[in-house]
Amino acid sequence: MDKVVETKQEETTKTVSRRKFLTTAAAVTTGAAITGFPSISVAASPVVLKMQGAWGAKDIFNEMAEEYVNRVNEMAEGRLRIDYLVAGSVVKPFEVMEATSKGVIDAGHQVAVYWYGKSKVASLFGSGPVTGCDAAQNLAWIHKEGLPFYNELMQKIGLDVVGFFAMPMPTQPLGWFKKPIKNASQLKGLKYRTVGLAADMMQELGIKVTQLPGGEIVPAMERGVIEAFEFNNPTSDRRFGAQDVAKNYMMGSYHQAQEFFEIVFNRKKYESLPKDLQALLRYAAEAASTANYALAMDNYSRDLQELKNKDKVNILRTPQGIFDVQLKAWDTIVKRLTDEDPFFGKVWESQKAWAKRVGYYTFFNNADYKAAYEHLFGKLGF
């Protein structure tokens, strides 16, 4: 009898020990998932954000948007996922900001000039005016001083979004023309595509401006709606067929000498996320900025050579006289907008103060890169 009782006690002890082991193991497994290994329950139900870009399916800007998305998705380790959609999947390119604010989509990848109709201050975070700094230096202004102005602007015009900026875009070419542009008088009366404050500047020069998203440019050129245009860079231009509708590519301009991607999230959606995921979305923009610029340098330079050598495009430097009249036009526009809107003036004064200090350092300190290039490869010919 004692042996039977003893045996039952042993079995009970083993059962209790086994349950304790399984409970402990489960706790350890859960802890491991939290500290670095994917948890089945988390991975099965991540927070999913729908982001739409403002770019056509073939545009290199989609690749740049995906560089941001991929970084977020990889670092989030299954807790959060961005599903990226190309332009037109839900809304048109110029509607991305409004759709994000209203929660039609959770996020957008675009440029601020695409919604500057709501406020011309938007272009101070996108396409100008010329400050004396380049795009990288103006992106630094956004990071160090500009974001509070941007957030104030969102409140003023009722856009319920959180925005981050990435990718200091190289100077955008004056664009594509059927005949070479030798002086500013040839621009008067020309039907031309651009966006943002660049439209105001070109109109100041007597140009008839139409604002269109990238995917509509070539069809508009073919129908005669426009006679010349700019978009952004040699790769985007070549991919959508600019070389098929014009053969003169004028390089260099002040009309959009600085621009950045604007990555926006619906504010309520963003603020519902844990703080670490909010930080991940913010800092991924900085990581993507570097990746985007590297991708741009590789592709833009290669495609410019392809346009020249394979597509027989006439690559030309914009004449200095056009740069000169653009600066005068900027002066007129900025004064007018500052007089009309004190908030525009406040943001502009901040940019100017930054540019005066940063530009002073830069121009005194920079090496003469053009001279070094010509020393190695010969005269550029302009």
In a domain, 67, yes or no: yes
Cβ atoms within 10 A of the Cβ of 285, count? 21
In a domain, 204, yes or no: yes
Instruction: Verify that 179 and 160 share a domain, yes or no.
Output: no
Q: How many domains are there within the chain?
A: 2
pLDDT at position 21? 34
What percent of the chain is modeled with pLDDT above 90? 82
**What are the structure tokens assigned to 64, written together?**
């740049």
In a domain, 164, yes or no: yes
Q: Check residues 129 and 123 and name the one with the higher pLDDT.
A: 123
pLDDT in tens, 221-238: 999 999 999 999 999 999
Residue 216 sits in a domain of what CATH number?
3.40.190.10
Domain that holds residue 140: 46-169+259-296
Instruction: Verify that 157 and 271 share a domain, yes or no.
Output: yes
**What are the structure tokens assigned to 138, written together?**
């103006």
In a domain, 197, yes or no: yes
pLDDT in tens, 10-30: 444 444 444 443 344 334 333
Q: Check residues 12 and 261 and name the one with the higher pLDDT.
A: 261
Residue 125 sits in a domain of what CATH number?
3.40.190.170
Instruction: Verify that 213 and 231 share a domain, yes or no.
Output: yes
Q: Which of 34-48, 64-78, 198-212 has the lowest mean pLDDT?
A: 34-48
Instruction: Verify that 135 and 264 share a domain, yes or no.
Output: yes
Does the pLDDT value for residue 141 go beyond 80?
yes
Q: Which of 30-39, 137-146, 149-158 has the lowest mean pLDDT?
A: 30-39
In a domain, 21, yes or no: no
Does the pLDDT value for residue 309 go beyond 70?
yes
Q: Check residues 322 and 42 and name the one with the higher pLDDT.
A: 322
φ/ψ bin of 156: left (φ > 0), alpha (ψ from -120 to 50), beta (otherwise): alpha
Instruction: Verify that 158 and 97 share a domain, yes or no.
Output: yes
* pTM for the structure as a whole: 0.86
- Report d(CA 274, CA 280) in Å as an integer: 10
In a domain, 219, yes or no: yes
pLDDT at position 151? 97
SS in 3 state form for the chain? Answer: CHHHHHHHHHHHHHHHHHHHHHHHHHHHHHHHHHHCCCCHHHHHCCEEEEEEECCCCCCHHHHHHHHHHHHHHHHHCCCEEEEEECCCCCCCHHHHHHHHHHCCCCEEEECHHHHCCCCHHHHHHCCCCCCCCCHHHHHHHHHHHHHHHHHHHHHHHCCCEEEEEECCCCCCCCEEECCCCCCHHHHCCCEEECCCHHHHHHHHCCCEEECCCHHHHHHHHHHCCCCEECCCCHHHHHHCCHHHCCCEEEECCCCCCCCCEEEEEEHHHHHCCCHHHHHHHHHHHHHHHHHHHHHHHHHHHHHHHHHHHCCCCEEEECCHHHHHHHHHHHHHHHHHHHHHCHHHHHHHHHHHHHHHHHHHHHHHHCCCHHHHHHHHHCCCCC
pLDDT at position 30? 38
From residue 172, how far is each of 62, 175, 337 by CA, in Å? 18, 8, 23
Instruction: Verify that 271 and 125 share a domain, yes or no.
Output: yes
Does the pLDDT value for residue 35 go beyond 90?
no
Instruction: Verify that 51 and 189 share a domain, yes or no.
Output: no
Beta bridge partner(s), residue 266: 161
Instruction: Verify that 97 and 180 share a domain, yes or no.
Output: no
Q: How sure is the predictor about 39, in pLDDT bands with cuts at 50, 70 and 90?
A: very low
Does the pLDDT value for residue 140 go beyond 70?
yes
Does the pLDDT value for residue 38 go beyond 70?
no
Instruction: Verify that 205 and 324 share a domain, yes or no.
Output: yes
Q: Which residues of 223-258 are buried (b: 16+ CB within 10 A; e: fewer)?
A: eeebbbbbbbbbbbbbbbebbebbbbbbbbbbbbbb
Instruction: Verify that 199 and 283 share a domain, yes or no.
Output: no
Q: Which of 27-31, 107-111, 202-206, 306-310 has the lowest mean pLDDT?
A: 27-31
Does the pLDDT value for residue 254 go beyond 60?
yes
In a domain, 347, yes or no: no
Q: How sure is the predictor about 61, in pLDDT bands with cuts at 50, 70 and 90?
A: very high
In a domain, 80, yes or no: yes
pLDDT at position 44? 56
Q: Indicate the average pLDDT of the chain.
A: 89
What mean pLDDT do residues 66-91 have? 98
Does the pLDDT value for residue 366 go beyond 90?
yes
Instruction: Verify that 130 and 231 share a domain, yes or no.
Output: no
What mean pLDDT do residues 38-50 have? 69
Instruction: Verify that 245 and 96 share a domain, yes or no.
Output: no
